[in-house]
Amino acid sequence: MTRPLTNPSSNFKDAGRPFRASIELVDFTASQKLIWDRVVHDSKNGIFLHSRDYLDYHAHRFVEKSVIVLIGGKPVAVFPCNRVGNQIISHSGITYGGLLYGKGIRAATVLDIFRNLVEHFRQTGVTSIIYKAIPHIFHKYPAEEDIYALFNLGARLYRRDISSAIKLNNRIKYSDSRKCAINKHKKFGVYLIEGDFFSDFHDLLSMVIMKFGAEPVHSLEELCRLKGLFPEKIRLIGAFKEGQLLAGAVTYDFTHVLHTQYLATSSRGREVGALDAIIARLIEEAAPTHNYVNFGISTEHNGQHLNRGLIFQKEGFGARGLVHDFYELNLIDNSPSHALL
């Protein structure tokens, strides 16, 4: 536990300024799993990616430095993060990180928490914090006090990716080319199934992205393990013809947002609109209960290159741009170097 930056003896209410409660930071340990998960569950910007089960399934890859924030001895926020060299990353094991906190925490308190985090990590020799902000559509209630705190403390935006999302209660109509592709699958006898055929899907996904010199973020074993940990949250939908998998989608259900974690199609699947049919089904199924369907990013090289063909396909379903921002908060005067995220 670190000494709070705001000294409890200096709490005051003066000149119209609100009362400052004592802030303490506690390094997370496995014994605090239930406390952590309760804070995430009650937060206005946390999703199941921030639960300990998700963060810890590949914990062996990271130097864990996550923090629980206490105010008046009560846990009110958590900060998932790991250390890479002299940097803190929020968090290398998940797409979206950042400070997770509830509706009762206001802007001034978030700013004070960030000042405590800066002092806490500076004392351990950290030179900078890489902050992976959570895009606003994942918030259950407005939660961008953290972005203001980063600005206030002099953080710089150094990377911006563009994703695409569909607002389900005010959808843009499918483009003519997408409509045509969606209708193809019926003519060719393609049928859709939800199941646990992760081995076949992982093979297909690996084959597709191998062309770009890449490999899936998750191994087959990890995908199967995550499905076991979150059976109601993670789904696999496939398009088949005569028993052969032509396309598939792994989705993450964040309750108010349906996110396509992986999409893959074979060349034959592309010819018969297999993946288009899957996406159309996902959109229609999510529309009554979700606010958004979110697709992955369409940028490369830290956001500098836009994959025009990829984003054009998503836009054909009515998706439009959503940014995913990365900030660097320097804890010392000299210029830092970036860690691999």
Residues of the chain with pLDDT under 50: 1-19, 334-341
pTM of the model as a whole: 0.89
Exposure string of 160-180, with b = 16+ CB inside 10 Å and e = fewer, is: ebbbbbbebeeeeebeeebee
Q: pLDDT tens digits for 117-172?
A: 999 999 999 999 999 999 999 999 999 999 999 999 999 999 999 999 999 999 99
pLDDT at 292: 98
Q: In what order do the strands lie in the sheet with 100-101?
A: 23-27, 67-71, 74-79, 100-101
Q: What CA–CA distance (Å, rounded) separates 133 from 253?
A: 19
CA atoms within 13 A on the CB side of 40: 24
pLDDT at 195: 97
pLDDT at 333: 61
pLDDT at 35: 98
Query: In the chain, what are the domains?
Result: 8-160+325-330 (3.40.630.30), 172-286 (3.40.630.30)
Asked whether the CA dihedral 134, 112, 336, 88 is positive or negative, the reply is negative
Instruction: Give the percent of the chain with pLDDT over 90.
Output: 85
